[in-house]
Structure 1
Amino acid sequence: MTGNPSQPVQVLVLAGARAAGDPLCEAEGVASKAVIDIVGQPMLSRVLRALGASRANAPPWVLGLEGDALATAADGIACQPLASQGRGPASSLIRALEGPVSTPLLVTTCDHALLTPEMVDSFLAKSMASDADLCVGFAERAVIEADYPETRRTYLRLGGAELSGCNLFYLASPEALKVIRFWQSAEQDRKKPWRIAWRFGPLTALRIVLSRRGPDAVFALLSRQLGARVSPVTLEFAEAAIDVDKPGDLVLVREILAAREA
Structure 2
Amino acid sequence: MSAPASDITAILLAGWRPVPDPLALAAGVEAKPLAPVAGDAMINYPARALLAHPAIGRVIVLTQAPELFADDPATAWLAEHPRVRFEKSGGGIASSLTALLDRADLPFPLLMTTADHVLLDAAMLDQMVREASGADIAVAMVERATLLARYPRSRRTWLKFRDGWWSGANIFWFGSGKARPVIALWQEVEQDRKKGWKIVSAFGPLTLLGAVLRIATLRGGIARVGRRFGLTARLVAMEKAEACIDADKPDDVVLIEAILANAAE
- TM-score where L is the length of structure 1: 0.87
Q: Residues 79-125 of structure 1, C-alpha deviation per residue, up to 9 Å, x if partnerless?
A: 211111x3211111111111223321110000000111111111111
Residue 17 of structure 1 is matched in structure 2 by: 16
Q: Does 1:147 align with 2:150?
A: yes
2:128 counterpart (103, 106, 123): 123
Equivalent residues, number: 256
Q: Report the CA distance between 1:233 and its aligned residue.
A: 0.5
Q: Report the CA distance between 1:176 and its aligned residue.
A: 0.8
Residue 261 of structure 1 is matched in structure 2 by: 264
Taking structure 1 as reference, are residues 152 and 194 closer, same or farther at Cα in structure 2, changes over 3 Å only?
Answer: farther
Whether the 8 Å CA contact 1:216–1:231 is kept in 2: the answer is yes
Q: Does 179-188 or 104-113 show the bigger shift?
A: 179-188
Q: Does 98-107 or 199-208 show the bigger shift?
A: 199-208
Taking structure 1 as reference, are residues 141 and 194 closer, same or farther at Cα in structure 2, changes over 3 Å only?
Answer: farther
CA distance in 2, matches of 1:18, 1:25: 11
2:180 counterpart (168, 171, 177): 177
1:205 counterpart (208, 217, 235): 208
Return the letter of the residue paired with 2:140: G
Q: Does 1:225 align with 2:224?
A: no
Please provide the CA RMSD for this pair.
Answer: 2.5
Q: Report the CA distance between 1:17 and its aligned residue.
A: 1.3
Taking structure 1 as reference, are residues 147 and 187 closer, same or farther at Cα in structure 2, changes over 3 Å only?
Answer: farther
Q: Report the CA distance between 1:226 and its aligned residue.
A: 3.2
Whether the 8 Å CA contact 2:119–2:256 is kept in 1: the answer is yes
CA distance in 2, matches of 1:114, 1:254: 10
Q: Residues 39-69 of structure 1, C-alpha deviation per residue, up to 9 Å, x if partnerless?
A: 1221111111111221233231100041242
Residue 69 of structure 1 is matched in structure 2 by: 69
Taking structure 1 as reference, are residues 159 and 196 closer, same or farther at Cα in structure 2, changes over 3 Å only?
Answer: farther
CA distance in 1, matches of 2:146, 2:107: 33
CA distance in 1, matches of 2:119, 2:146: 16
Residue 164 of structure 1 is matched in structure 2 by: 167
Q: Report the CA distance between 1:199 and its aligned residue.
A: 5.9
**Percent of matched pairs sharing the same residue:** 38
Residue 60 of structure 1 is matched in structure 2 by: 59
Q: Report the CA distance between 1:227 and its aligned residue.
A: 3.5
Return the letter of the residue paired with 2:77: G
Q: Report the CA distance between 1:76 and its aligned residue.
A: 1.8
Q: Report the CA distance between 1:220 and its aligned residue.
A: 2.1
- TM-score where L is the length of structure 2: 0.87
Residue 26 of structure 1 is matched in structure 2 by: 25
Return the letter of the residue paired with 2:28: G
Residue 111 of structure 1 is matched in structure 2 by: 116
CA distance in 2, matches of 1:135, 1:33: 26
CA distance in 1, matches of 2:21, 2:179: 29
Identify unmatched segments of 5+ residues in structure 2: none
CA distance in 2, matches of 1:69, 1:52: 17
CA distance in 2, matches of 1:252, 1:6: 33
